[in-house]
Structure 1
Amino acid sequence: MVPDTQIALVCVQNAGRSQMATAYAERERTERGLENQVKIISGGTHPADSVHDVVIEAMADEDIDLSDRTPQAVSKAELESCDYVATMGCSTLDLEADTDVRDWDLPDPHGEDLETVHEIRETVREHVADLFDELETESA
């Protein structure tokens, strides 16, 4: 893999889907020994004040603690510096850089019951694993 591959995981509020995706990406990066090769950026176009409680609860079931995370803003310049940008289902991104933008088209977990958020979480996990598989394949 090319050193310094940058990926961004983005949604509007950075309070649900992108937080789950970031946590899974961090885990994939560690498990695959790519800490020095992959930089992860997570943010929202209009960040919320906090991560959604139901998302914190759903990720706690995976032994991932999101309770100390705060949604962050992400700029167009940051996104254009990335090799890959994954939006969570709310993309209207129009980037001018040569960035691979893909919309994972995930439902918003905000206001959903825990069972529904578990389903969204599993889809997020699959997308993240697929992205890391792709990164490894491209580097081979």
Structure 2
Amino acid sequence: MSDMPSVLFVCVHNAGRSQMAAAFLQHLSAGALEVRSAGSEPADQVNPAAVEAMREVGIDITAETPKVLTPQAVQDSDVVITMGCGDTCPFYPGKRYEDWVLDDPAGKGVEAVRPIRDEIRRRVETLMAELLNADR
């Protein structure tokens, strides 16, 4: 464990929303925050439309793979952002939880994923500002 704030992004398949959010936070925070992502029912691969949408903004997530959500990942995180996983995410007192209601990019083309990507970026920027300013 490090002293830097840590964020866990969770969605069902860990193939779209949570992958994009984690990539944005990792990229924008330049390592100032610890970032994880996971899914309650991980897919076999990251959504190709999400990969393409992120490539358009200069972030490569081709090497990412969906990961299973574990209680340890939640315990090791300060902030847990859920995106449609409902109550499958374990709850631990003292953690900050947020549920981001976002369209699921599964089965959609890149044109439909772009607005989801852009909304995720907006929310990540707000979250990052809150977390980094809290340390000051």
Which structure 1 residue ranges, 4+ long, deviate > 3 Å from structure 2?
none
Indicate whether 1:45 and 2:40 are aligned. Answer: yes
Render the CA deviation track for 1:42-83: whole Å, top value 9, x for unaligned.
111111000011111111111212222111112022212211
Equivalent residue, structure 2, for 1:21: 21
Equivalent residue, structure 2, for 1:136: 132
Give ranges in structure 1 of 5+ residues lacking alignment: none
Q: Is the 8 A contact 1:59 1:65 kept in 2?
A: yes
Give ranges in structure 2 of 5+ residues lacking alignment: none
Q: Is the 8 A contact 1:80 1:97 kept in 2?
A: no
| CA distance in structure 2 between the aligned counterparts of 1:19 and 1:27, rounded to whole angstroms | 12
Aligned length: 134
| CA distance in structure 2 between the aligned counterparts of 1:72 and 1:89, rounded to whole angstroms | 16
Q: What one-letter code is carried by the residue in structure 2 that aligns with 1:119? A: P
Equivalent residue, structure 2, for 1:108: 104
Displacement after TM superposition at 1:3 (Å): 2.5
SS at match of 1:49: coil
| CA distance in structure 2 between the aligned counterparts of 1:51 and 1:134, rounded to whole angstroms | 28
Displacement after TM superposition at 1:126 (Å): 0.6
Q: How does 1:27-106 map to 2 (within 5 A)?
A: 27-30=27-30, 35=31, 37-92=32-87, 93-106=89-102
| CA distance in structure 1 between the aligned counterparts of 2:37 and 2:76, rounded to whole angstroms | 13
SS at match of 1:58: helix
Q: Is the 8 A contact 1:90 1:105 kept in 2?
A: no
| CA distance in structure 2 between the aligned counterparts of 1:136 and 1:4, rounded to whole angstroms | 9
TM-score of the aligned structures, taking structure 2 as reference length: 0.90
